[in-house]
């Protein structure tokens, strides 16, 4: 094994990516899997009476080498994918699933964990918590099943790992393969900054002229500004065709059969464990607890959002008709006419906003907020990482090392779309302890020229703050055990810190300090800030609708019997909602990676909305003091939520922070969906 894959020797404990080659991963996974299997067998076969010290504690370290190899590999697979890495991922995914099944369904190990859980030993609250979580997770994995059912469960998990990997790679192939060349005589309406970014994208692909790719930072502004309706349609169809068999990869990247099989396997898994369906299984450990509560929330917000989106649709349709275009408003028209309406109603356009939102300034703004709230300091350093674009900072507080933060901000070929936060290593206090190494990944448009500042849209800046909120959840973690560290919390609780942090982007004092014009240095004018926020609210019907459509389809897929034809089921749900034709799902089934590229958000896409109910109420706790940087509320937020990980149940942590259950009214008010 290449020792760099386990014993990281780079600055501040980072892996030396320059000393790691793709051919290192096969032997490394072989050795790490063997070591982990041996460690788990030793725990399960220990002849001593089971107790916390000889059973639960060693489970936290048994797969340490495997976790470190996996962290390096999957960081590269998501951020710098290649054909070689995709082949490795297809090979390793079922092997990792099989290893997990061997551990979590081992009857001897399960008996020992059960004995510790039943023991009257006086464990600390956190030790008791991880014992109960380990027992719960083993039961949910199938450890209590009879041998035949355990074998079937292992086969299901292995197959699901294979399918999820294929789903992810199919979407990536379609994203990588779509390139729309836009001739010089069809650039009408496109801002100079966007055209420059399109030319950079063409150069990166060895092409002349300018192109649109499926990077969100390119295709969304193109749909907002291109006056050429035919080109907008081509771009939009390429975007929504990902994974459908009609994308750039053709039939070879069709995810529809994969989605069908995954839904069936999930249902079978839930039934083996005694649940009525997969939604009941999944939600049993979440804050929501059951699908009826989730459906009630979604229905409540939909009832408020639908009149707004119908009103928005009528306004845009009239605008389109006034330009002499016959026929209904189409999905490739919405963003274009909505942007035009904002320009007319609010005199606002991305070309006016972006010069005030340089990437460097928004990073500094996020760091400033983290410093004012939690006294964190970010110091840049250089290290051999996976790409020249990646930036690194040490994070300290009053001289104490709090972790390492890595930012990979620009879109490029081979990088998974979207934005996310991951940890190369979690914080824990075992042995000498360790601090988190956190990665924020985004897909912003790189600068048109080397040395020029990268400019963000308001949505980009909000995304940067969102992912920083996740990073703070890792960096401020103060728990004993890695299994409950940082963001290892209930899925419908994990978005609370990230969505809460977004609120500080809007604060006048933050923008006055950091949102400054890249050329003149003048601060963002207050009236422009007001127009930006008004524009967000003006499009809230669209934003809420496209999200709710995806959330409701996800929940419907996992309630009751799985659909034999997910695409037909998707259409049925949307029709039942009365969803507007011109507002398609934010994530249609064939490219719904949240739901099908793993189990993370399956039957859980609602969690963004569930967390938004809490984040609106949590920010109200700051507002109620008259100071959005109130130190006592910030300290309580850190102590009760950000530092605690999953060391206590999410409901208990929220109650400790806020003292009551949140209501939906602040969410509706924040989205501008309350009447009057």
Catalytic residues: 467
Here the tokens at position 19 are: 């000393």
Which residues have CB under 8 Å from 69's CB, separation 6+? Answer: 5, 6, 25, 28, 29, 32
Tell how far CA 121 is from the center of its chain.
Answer: 39
Residue 381 has φ and ψ, to the nearest 5°, of -150, 165
Tokens 């003292």 correspond to 659
| Burial of 118 (C-beta count, 10 Å sphere; 0-12/13-18/19+) | exposed
Q: What is the 3-state secondary structure (H, E, C) of 324-388?
A: CCCCCCCHHHHHHHHHHHHHHHHCCCHHHHHHHCEHHHHHHHHHHHHHHHHCCEEEEECCCCCCC
CA–CA dist 173, 150 (Å, integer): 35
Q: Which residues contact 317 (CB under 8 A, 6 or more apart)?
A: 328, 329
Q: For residue 84, what are its two tokens?
A: 């070689």
The CA–CA distances, whole Å, from 248 to 166, 171, 240, 384, 425 equal: 16, 10, 11, 34, 36
Please give the Cα distance from 125 to 129 (Å, whole number).
Answer: 6
Distance CA 393, CA 406 (A): 6
CB 243 within 8 Å of CB 587: no
- Closest among 618, 604, 594 to 502, alpha carbons compared: 618
**Alpha carbon separation from 108 to 104, 138, 143, 339, 445 (Å, rounded):** 10, 12, 9, 62, 52
H helices present in 105-249, as ranges: 107-118, 125-141, 147-177, 192-204, 216-225, 229-240
Alpha helices in 539-664 (DSSP H): 540-558, 566-577, 593-596, 607-623, 631-637, 650-658
């Amino acid at each position: 094994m290449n020792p760099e894959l386990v014993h990281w020797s780079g600055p501040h404990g980072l892996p030396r990516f320059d000393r790691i080659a793709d051919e290192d991963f096969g032997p490394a996974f072989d050795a790490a899997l063997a070591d982990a299997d041996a460690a788990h067998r030793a725990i399960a076969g220990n002849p001593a009476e089971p107790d916390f010290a000889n059973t639960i504690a060693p489970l936290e370290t048994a797969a340490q080498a495997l976790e470190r190899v996996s962290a390096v590999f999957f960081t590269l697979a998501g951020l710098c994918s290649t054909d070689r890495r995709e082949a490795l991922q297809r090979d390793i995914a079922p092997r990792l699933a099989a290893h997990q099944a061997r551990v979590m369904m081992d009857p001897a190990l399960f008996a020992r964990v059960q004995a510790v859980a039943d023991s009257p030993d006086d464990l600390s609250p956190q030790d008791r918590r991880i014992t109960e979580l380990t027992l719960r997770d083993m039961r949910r994995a199938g450890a209590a099943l009879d041998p035949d059912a355990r074998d079937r469960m292992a086969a299901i998990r292995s197959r699901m790992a294979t399918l999820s990997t294929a789903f992810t790679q199919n979407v990536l192939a379609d994203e990588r393969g779509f390139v729309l060349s836009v001739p010089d005589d069809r650039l009408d309406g496109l801002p100079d900054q966007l055209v420059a970014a399109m030319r950079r994208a063409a150069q990166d692909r060895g092409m002349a002229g300018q192109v649109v790719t499926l990077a969100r930072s390119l295709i969304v502004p193109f749909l907002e500004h291109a006056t050429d309706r035919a080109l907008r349609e081509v771009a939009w169809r390429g975007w929504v065709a990902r994974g459908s068999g009609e994308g750039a990869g053709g039939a070879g990247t069709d995810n529809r059969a994969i989605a069908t099989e995954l839904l069936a396997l999930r249902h079978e898994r839930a039934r083996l464990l005694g649940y009525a369906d997969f939604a009941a299984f999944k939600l049993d450990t979440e804050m929501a607890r059951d699908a009826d509560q989730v459906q009630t929330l979604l229905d409540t917000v939909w009832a408020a959002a639908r009149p707004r989106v119908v009103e928005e649709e009528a306004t845009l349709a009239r605008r389109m008709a006034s330009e002499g275009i016959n026929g209904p408003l189409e999905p490739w028209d919405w963003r274009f006419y909505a942007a035009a309406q904002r320009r007319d109603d609010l005199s606002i356009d991305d070309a006016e906003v972006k010069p005030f939102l340089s990437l460097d300034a928004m990073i500094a703004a996020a760091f400033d907020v983290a410093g004012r709230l939690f006294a964190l300091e970010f110091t840049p350093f250089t290290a051999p990482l996976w790409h020249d674009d990646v930036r690194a900072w040490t994070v300290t507080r009053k001289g104490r090392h709090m972790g390492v933060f890595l930012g990979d901000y620009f879109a490029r070929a081979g990088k998974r779309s979207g934005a996310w936060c991951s940890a190369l290593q979690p914080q824990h206090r075992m042995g000498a302890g360790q601090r988190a190494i956190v990665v924020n990944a985004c897909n912003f448009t790189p600068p048109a020229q080397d040395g020029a500042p990268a400019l963000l849209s308001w949505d980009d800046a909000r995304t940067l703050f969102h992912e920083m909120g996740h990073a703070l959840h890792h960096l401020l973690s103060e728990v004993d055990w890695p299994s409950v560290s940082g963001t290892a919390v209930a899925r419908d609780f994990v978005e609370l810190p990230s969505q809460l942090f977004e609120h500080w982007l809007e604060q006048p004092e933050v923008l006055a300090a950091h949102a400054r014009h890249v050329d003149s240095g003048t601060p963002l004018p207050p009236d422009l800030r007001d127009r930006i926020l008004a524009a967000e609210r003006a499009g809230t019907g669209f934003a809420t609708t496209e999200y709710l459509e995806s959330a409701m389809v996800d929940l419907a897929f996992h309630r009751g019997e799985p659909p034999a034809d997910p695409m037909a089921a998707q259409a049925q749900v949307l029709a039942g909602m009365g969803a507007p034709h011109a507002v398609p799902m934010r994530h249609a089934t064939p490219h719904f990676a949240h739901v099908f590229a793993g189990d993370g958000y399956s039957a859980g896409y609602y969690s963004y909305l569930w967390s938004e109910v809490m984040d609106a109420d949590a920010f109200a706790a700051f507002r109620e003091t008259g100071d959005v940087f109130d130190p006592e509320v910030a300290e309580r937020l850190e102590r009760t939520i950000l530092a605690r990980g999953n060391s206590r149940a999410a409901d208990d942590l929220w109650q400790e922070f806020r003292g009551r259950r949140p209501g939906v009214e602040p969410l509706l008010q924040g989205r501008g969906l309350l009447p009057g």
